[in-house]
Amino acid sequence: MERAESQSPLQADRLAPVRSLLRAMIVPVASVVVALAIGAVIIALSGANPLVAYSALFEGGLGSGRAIGRTLEKATPLIFGGLAVSLAFKCGLFNIGAQGQLLLGAIFAAFIGFSLQGLPAVLHIPLALLVGAVMGAVWAAIAGTLKAFTGAHEVITTIMLNFVAFNLTDWLADGPWKDRSPGNIVARTPAVAPEARLPDIAGVPLGMILAVLAAIAVWWLIWRTTIGFELRTVGQNASAAKYAGISVRRMTVLAMVASGFLAGLGGAVETLGVVGRFQPGFNVGLGFQAITIALLARTNPIAVIPASLLIGVMQAGASRMQFNSGVASEIIDVIQAIILFFVAADSIIRWVLRLRAEEGERVTLSSGWGS
Amino acid sequence: MTAEPEIVLEARNITKRFPGVVANENVSLKLHRGEVLALLGENGAGKTTLMNILYGLYHQDSGEVLIRGEPVRISSPSESIKRGIGMVHQHFMLVPVFTVAENIILGAETGNGPFLDLKVARQRIRELSRQYHLDVDPDAYVKDLSVGQQQRVEIIKALYRNADILILDEPTAVLTPQETEELFAIIRSLTARGASVIFISHKLKEALAIADRIMVLRRGRVVGETTPREATERSLAEMMVGRSVMLEVEKGEAHPGAPVLTLENVTVLDDRGQQVVNGVSLEVHAGEILGIAGVQGNGQTELVEAITGLRPVHSGRVRINGRDVTNASPRRISETGCAHVPEDRQEDGLVLTYTVADNLVLNTYYTPPFAHGIVRDDRAILDHANRLIERYDVRTPGALTLVSALSGGNKQKVIIARELSREVRLLIAAQPTRGIDVGSIEFIHQQIIAERDRGAAVLLVSAELDEIMALSDRIAVMYHGRIVATLPAASATREELGLLMAGAQPVNAASELATDGHEPVNVQRRGV
Amino acid sequence: MQITDTLARPSAARIPWVTIGVWGGLAILVLVAYLRAPQATTAVLTSTIRQSTPIILGALAGIMCERSGVINIGIEGMMLISAFLGFLFNVWTGDLLLATMGALLVGAAVGAFHAVMSITLKVDQIIAGTVINILAVGLTGYFYQQGLTTRGKLAPVSIPVLADIPIIGPVFFSNPPITYASLILIVVIHVILFRTAWGLRTRAVGEHPAAADTVGIAVNRVRYINVIIGGMLAGLAGGFLTLESVGSFERNMTNGRGFVSLAVMIFGKWTPFGAWGGSLLFGFANALQSQIQFLKNQLPPWLAWIGDLPPQFIGMLPYVLTIAVLAGFVGRARPPAAIGKVYEKE
């Protein structure tokens, strides 16, 4: 919840960034360790062996080349989601709707992917990605605009828009954009054209490369540009921002648009890189995972990458864990929630480890309804 | 009358530390029955901390408190209330959306089992109201009352709980001179009935006028004790600050030039849609300071917000340097050379979680040399900060210190430095010295006058009548959203301004004042 | 001063013509609909009341928390956990009353958890609520086993005589217990908030905690108790879902009702009766959705197109309505002034 001063562009002491980076890592790392320990207790309570379960979990996520590939695959949309939530946090906005924005991005990328035929990959891929990202941005812009002009709180509107997005994409995939090929009875779109599928570059999936580039771009935007300064100022003190001549409304819409763009891009990457078409029920839970990741990374865009990889490992290994130890894969949701609890209530960990509270920018959301 | 009346409250060797500061160090005081003890000290001297300890909001690190000779441990306000202590806080502790009666009974509710019954309470409130000449309506909503009336509600709240030791924290800060006189009358009637009062203030005149004894605090220590008979304003000021201070601000003749800020019939609505600025017209010229006097809440805040683009102008025109900037964005207005020192510096003037350097470019970050295109230039921002810290004597460990770590006076210097480091043609300063130390006040006053002498137009809004009178070349008095009079500062008197601030008609007021001595103002005579 | 004795309080003096007009108009509309299609109208209205039950209970939970200054975005999660455990209690004990009590207690426990996070640990209140929501999805998902069977659900109880009145009888006087309880709780909470000392203190703490503190009210204690009461109300809403409405548990079965409750709370300006009006609106939207098959044939020709809409569009209705309500009402309603802020002395 608090940001270490490590990213501050104005830093006098050259070693200070390293030291404060290490200090900033203590709470997240301790949170993960404690959450895994509590998860072990829950597993034991439900009658399974936590050691067996955890070793299967990490084997399934890291144990082989294929396992690592699966982890990267799972982590990619998580990075986009984590970036989306982190960026909104910087502007004091809580985007719980990454899920819905991702769905919109995914189905529109699929639509561009299957409806255009014969386009070369260099055009088809960027176009599909862009349309997906823009649709995510449009979806988030609804919540941003409502917040800016009517004061409707984004936590409620984005959640509600998630439900609308479920219904909308469900209808599209079961109606106008349904896969009409013989034998198909389920709601899904046709497969995207081969030219629209994301290739691997030097053995690394293009989606992952895009995710890392997006993280760097978001970091640069937040810490090195005047737009980032404006976003952060609104997030830290909207009233002072207004007095300094920054349009709070404009930044609110802009932050949501950028956040939705990232989430939509995540959906498009997933569709074009992994699934190859749109199916309802796609990536359920990503919205919540993205929140855990953003707070675990303390809204630092670069730290979103390792945080996403960690959650990615758990997701990739969950089915093996269920197979080997009989522990339901939902335990990883419980562990994630406990991680979130400890990074949010970091005073517990600080008290146990006798750490002092950090200074600097904070995420503050509870400014109430409206205005 | 015995020579030595009973000691109702005594503090012995109180020490209280906060992280980084010692707020009270070995402070001792005695309060006798029926006396008014003035506790004098500048902002941050530890007066309020001491009172919060006596009231049970804080607990001292060491030392003891005795009430009527009995050592007590006051761990909460309910305990101090039980022991007969009542406190009127500087920022009133009233719920605006509750009625007077609801506010008064809160925490001491009367009723039928769990159900509220206000009948008995209303009766008591009326009795108290009559007894002490505290005219309030138990069924009015607090948000609809003037500050003076709210203060009376606070006093009744204490009396309702049978308080006979009353602590008044800066009670005159928001009152007109006449309201202050009325408060003093109330205090006298309280002490006449055996109550004891601690009167906390940084205003020397008032301490001399109301107190039986005066204690002076400086940096958390008691530096002296005296009586109004022995002390003078000058001697008290020196005790308070620890060196000799200028009681007057030195400034030369103003040389007004062309009008810079012109308002024509400006009306402004507040957040509830009420018209709080009603057709204000005024001009501020280059090279002059126009002070707006008025009791807080008469539309000054909204007027400033409207001029600076933070609040819509409902009707009328605002011009700066002849250009129409009515309802222009705050950014555009700022770019006309309008500098703004906002009323609430913590909330509106600074981002407390940012460094001093970032705060110094809070409204210029997008211009060269601080940015090239959208890319920030951190080097230039840092150099700029180091220059301003030196020039404006900001006491900070460095440019990269978080601004939240600075004292009130230095925070205000950061704002002043930021606003004045640009080319300023119009300076709007709202409550520029509220709650800061005397050294910083002197410095800020000098800067404002220097800005005037450089040829800027200055609009000064302050609740401190002394500050308005000391700095302004002309004084406009605002009451109920209107400018009721504009006077040359040289000939304005406190009494005259006070009457205008309370809504007296300017013409009548002037004529009555002219005959002052033979024919006192009618309103007042009837009041007493 | 004496004059004021005869002056009535402004709030009491104002006659709410708009409200009377709206409800009067609705009553006439219902009557017309009843005359045209008595069965369908009664079915939709009965369904409206029952569908609004979890929403009003959630909104009352929100009101108790927010009136004391604590934002509770975790009502959704509180409902889900209580629904799940209430269901399990029913499976284990076979006693619906015990199970309902269990749901209440679980709600209280989760409420206490929210209070610990947002009051004692000073976690941002919106994030604290989100922790509860995510934890609820994870825990109920993990411990849920398919194939558990219940022993029934709470059945409607008809009140003699009153239940026989046309329209009003079946709609109001032939309901299952939690629905009755929710109607009673609206009145109870209204009385607590506006007619008791506790309510006065609660509102003071939510508006100006420092003022409450200086007259000796333990601010955080008042907040704790209200947040726990709020948790119980959300728990009852959860119990409604598994013990009265559905009779079994499904994953994520709250379906956003906790968030709808918050919108309804804002719509009702943090008052129980105002929130009830809002929740009836949502109950009605849900009722239309659940009765659509039944209604299809009874729609007048100019509304026939509604029956042909894809089910997904009708499914969106409550959520779109929530957004519209929020956008339309937030700016006009004034939340308790101290909401979301941790109370610290100076």
Per-residue pLDDT tens over the stretch B25-76:
999 999 999 999 999 988 878 888 899 999 988 899 999 999 999 999 888 8
The residue whose two tokens read 């890319």 is: B375
CB contact under 8 A, A362 and B353: yes
**Shortest CA distance from C116: residue in chain A:** A345
For chain A, the maximum distance between any two Cα atoms, rounded to a whole number of angstroms, is 67
> How many C-beta atoms lie closer than 10 Å to residue C241's C-beta?
28
Asked, for residue B246, whether it belongs to a domain, the answer is no
- Cα separation, C58 vs C67, in Å, equals 14
* C11 has a pLDDT exceeding 60: no
Confidence of residue A202 (pLDDT cuts 50, 70, 90): confident
Shared-domain flag, residues B276 and B181: no
Shared-domain flag, residues B197 and B58: yes
Shared-domain flag, residues B64 and B114: yes
Per-residue confidence (pLDDT) for residue B511, from 0 to 100: 40
Q: Is pLDDT larger for residue C107 or for residue B345?
A: C107
The residue whose two tokens read 């302050």 is: B462
Which residue in the set A46, A288, A348 is minimally distant from C121, CB to CB? A348
The token pair at C263 is 């919108």
Which residue in the set C197, C204, C216 is minimally distant from B76, CB to CB? C216
The residue whose two tokens read 């194939």 is: C147
Q: Is pLDDT larger for residue C82 or for residue B251?
A: C82
Of all helices (H) and strands (E), which one includes residue A333? helix A331-344
The token pair at B188 is 């006298």
Per-residue confidence (pLDDT) for residue C163, from 0 to 100: 82
**Shortest CA distance from A329: residue in chain C:** C142
Q: In what order do the strands lie in the sheet with B457-461?
A: B338-341, B426-430, B457-461, B289-293, B474-479, B482-488
By DSSP bridging, strand B371-372 and strand B323-324 are unpaired
> Whole-number mean pLDDT of chain C?
87
> How many C-beta atoms lie closer than 10 Å to residue A322's C-beta?
18
Quote the DSSP letter at residue B25: E
Q: Return the closest-CA partner of residue A189 out of A125, A275, A123.
A: A275
CB contact under 8 A, A11 and B363: no
Asked, for residue A368, whether it belongs to a domain, the answer is no
Asked, for residue B17, whether it belongs to a domain, the answer is yes
Shared-domain flag, residues B237 and B263: no
Q: Which range, A356-365, B278-287, B502-511, has the best average confidence (pLDDT)?
A: B278-287
Q: Which of C68, C122, C134 to mutate to test the interface with A (most CBs of A within 10 A)?
A: C134
Which residue in the set B348, B376, B382 is minimally distant from A225, CB to CB? B376
Q: Residue A42: list chain C partners with CB under 8 A.
A: 142
Residues A210 and A72 sit within 8 Å (Cβ to Cβ): no
* B280 has a pLDDT exceeding 90: yes
* A65 has a pLDDT exceeding 50: yes
Contacts from B204-212 at CB under 8 Å and sequence distance 24+?
Answer: B204/B40, B204/B233, B204/B236, B204/B237, B204/B240, B205/B233, B206/B38, B206/B172, B206/B180, B207/B38, B207/B40, B207/B236, B208/B233, B208/B236, B209/B184, B210/B36, B210/B38, B210/B184, B211/B36, B211/B37, B211/B38, B212/B35, B212/B36, B212/B37
- Cα separation, B430 vs B452, in Å, equals 16
Quote the DSSP letter at residue A355: P
Q: What is the ipTM of this complex?
A: 0.87
| Lowest mean pLDDT across A329-338, B452-461, C81-90 | A329-338
- Chain A CB within 8 Å of residue C137 CB: yes
Shared-domain flag, residues B418 and B474: yes
Q: Residue A361: list chain B partners with CB under 8 A.
A: 353-354
Q: What's the number of domains chain A is made of?
A: 1
Residues B442 and B434 sit within 8 Å (Cβ to Cβ): no
- Chain A CB within 8 Å of residue B348 CB: yes
Quote the DSSP letter at residue B144: G
Shared-domain flag, residues B139 and B188: yes
Per-residue pLDDT tens over the stretch C175-188:
899 999 999 999 99
Give the Å distances, CA to CA, from B80 to B32, B36, B62, B106, C94: 17, 19, 18, 16, 54
Per-residue pLDDT tens over the stretch C299-331:
777 777 777 788 888 888 889 988 988 888 776
DSSP code string of B191-250: HHTT-EEEEEES-HHHHHHH-SEEEEEETTEEEEEE-TTT--HHHHHHHHHSS---SS--
Please report the residues numbered 24 through 83 in chain A whose beta carbons come closer than 8 angstroms to any beta carbon of chain C: 42, 46
Q: Which of C55, C123, C341 to mutate to test the interface with A (most CBs of A within 10 A)?
A: C123
* A1 has a pLDDT exceeding 50: no
Neighbours of chain B (3+ CB pairs under 8 A): A, C
Q: Return the closest-CA partner of residue B307 out of B323, B319, B321.
A: B319
- Cα separation, B26 vs B416, in Å, equals 36
Residues 6+ apart with CB under 8 A from A337: A292, C131, C134, C135, C137, C138, C139
Give the Å distances, CA to CA, from B229 to B157, B210, B212, B215, B240: 33, 12, 9, 13, 17
Which residue in the set C199, C207, C345 is minimally distant from B57, CB to CB? C345
> Whole-number mean pLDDT of chain B?
89
* C14 has a pLDDT exceeding 60: no
- Chain C CB within 8 Å of residue B117 CB: no
Q: Residue C213: list chain B partners with CB under 8 A.
A: 57, 77
By DSSP bridging, strand B375-376 and strand B371-372 are antiparallel
Residues B24 and B61 sit within 8 Å (Cβ to Cβ): no
Per-residue pLDDT tens over the stretch C230-273:
999 999 999 999 999 988 898 889 999 999 999 899 889 899 99
Neighbours of chain C (3+ CB pairs under 8 A): A, B
Per-residue confidence (pLDDT) for residue C165, from 0 to 100: 83
> Quick one: how far is CA B505 from the chain centroid?
25
Shared-domain flag, residues B357 and B501: yes
Residues A314 and A61 sit within 8 Å (Cβ to Cβ): yes
- Cα separation, C330 vs B292, in Å, equals 36
Per-residue confidence (pLDDT) for residue A253, from 0 to 100: 97
CB contact under 8 A, A10 and B347: no
- Cα separation, A258 vs B373, in Å, equals 19
Q: Which percentage of chain A shows pLDDT scores above 90?
A: 70
Asked, for residue B254, whether it belongs to a domain, the answer is no
Shared-domain flag, residues B219 and B288: no
Q: Residue C1: list chain B partners with CB under 8 A.
A: 126, 129-130, 135, 137
* B514 has a pLDDT exceeding 50: no
**CA count, 13 A, side-chain hemisphere, A37:** 7
**Shortest CA distance from B78: residue in chain C:** C216
Q: Return the closest-CA partner of residue B71 out of B138, B14, B127, B121.
A: B14
Confidence of residue B3 (pLDDT cuts 50, 70, 90): low
Task: Show which of B212, B241, B270 is a domain's final residue.
Answer: B241
- Cα separation, C78 vs C132, in Å, equals 7
Fold of C48-144+174-332: ABC transporter involved in vitamin B12 uptake, BtuC (1.10.3470)
Shared-domain flag, residues B227 and B322: no
CB contact under 8 A, A243 and B310: yes
Kindly report the nearest CA distance between residue B376 and chain A, in angstroms: 5
Range of the structural domain that residue B56 is part of: 7-241
The token pair at B405 is 């770590």
Q: Residue A246: list chain B partners with CB under 8 A.
A: 331
Angle at the Cα of C50 (from C45 to C56), degrees rounded to 5? 110
Helices (H), chain C: 3-6, 10-13, 17-36, 38-67, 75-93, 96-115, 125-143, 168-172, 177-195, 197-207, 209-214, 219-239, 257-267, 272-295, 304-308, 311-329
CB contact under 8 A, C124 and A164: no
Q: What's the number of domains chain B is made of?
A: 2
**Shortest CA distance from B59: residue in chain C:** C345
CB contact under 8 A, A11 and B340: no
Q: Which of C66, C249, C319 to mutate to test the interface with A (most CBs of A within 10 A)?
A: C319
Per-residue confidence (pLDDT) for residue A359, from 0 to 100: 65
Kindly report the nearest CA distance between residue A114 and chain C, in angstroms: 23
* B237 has a pLDDT exceeding 80: yes
AA letter at B252: G
3-state secondary structure of B24: strand
Residues C71 and C125 sit within 8 Å (Cβ to Cβ): yes
Per-residue confidence (pLDDT) for residue A263, from 0 to 100: 97
Range of the structural domain that residue A111 is part of: 5-353
- Sign of the torsion formed by the C-alpha atoms of B350, B354, B357 and B363: negative
Q: Supply the CATH number for residue A97's domain.
A: 1.10.3470
- Chain C CB within 8 Å of residue B435 CB: no
Shared-domain flag, residues B292 and B201: no
Residues 6+ apart with CB under 8 A from A269: A76, A77, A80, A129, A198, A207, A210, A211
Q: Residue C313: list chain A partners with CB under 8 A.
A: 167, 171
- Chain A CB within 8 Å of residue C339 CB: yes
Per-residue confidence (pLDDT) for residue A368, from 0 to 100: 60
* C9 has a pLDDT exceeding 60: no
AA letter at B267: T
Kindly report the nearest CA distance between residue B367 and chain C, in angstroms: 35
CB contact under 8 A, B362 and A233: yes
3-state secondary structure of B67: strand
Q: Residue C201: list chain B partners with CB under 8 A.
A: 106-107, 109
- Chain C CB within 8 Å of residue B143 CB: no
Shared-domain flag, residues B216 and B272: no
Please report the residues numbered 140 through 159 in chain C whose beta carbons come closer than 8 angstroms to any beta carbon of chain A: 141-144
* C296 has a pLDDT exceeding 90: no
Confidence of residue C172 (pLDDT cuts 50, 70, 90): confident
The residue whose two tokens read 């089915």 is: A319
- Cα separation, C31 vs C28, in Å, equals 5
Q: Which of C6, C215, C217, C343 to mutate to test the interface with B (most CBs of B within 10 A)?
A: C215
Domain boundaries, chain C: 48-144+174-332
Q: A with B: how many residue pairs have Cβ under 8 Å apart?
A: 81
The token pair at A128 is 């599909």
Q: Supply the CATH number for residue B294's domain.
A: 3.40.50.300
Please report the residues numbered 82 through 121 in chain C whose beta carbons come closer than 8 angstroms to any beta carbon of chain A: 117, 121
CB contact under 8 A, B94 and C345: no
Per-residue pLDDT tens over the stretch A125-164:
999 999 999 999 999 999 999 999 998 889 889 989 999 9
- Chain A CB within 8 Å of residue B178 CB: no
Which residue in the set B347, B358, B362 is minimally distant from A239, CB to CB? B347
**Shortest CA distance from A327: residue in chain C:** C142
Asked, for residue B2, whether it belongs to a domain, the answer is no
CB contact under 8 A, A171 and C310: yes
Burial of B523 (0-12, 13-18, 19+ CB in 10 A): middle
Residues B29 and B190 sit within 8 Å (Cβ to Cβ): no
3-state SS of chain B: helix, strand, coil percent to 5? Answer: 35, 25, 40
Confidence of residue C157 (pLDDT cuts 50, 70, 90): confident
> How many C-beta atoms lie closer than 10 Å to residue A255's C-beta?
28
Q: What are phi and psi of B268, to 5 degrees?
A: -140, 145
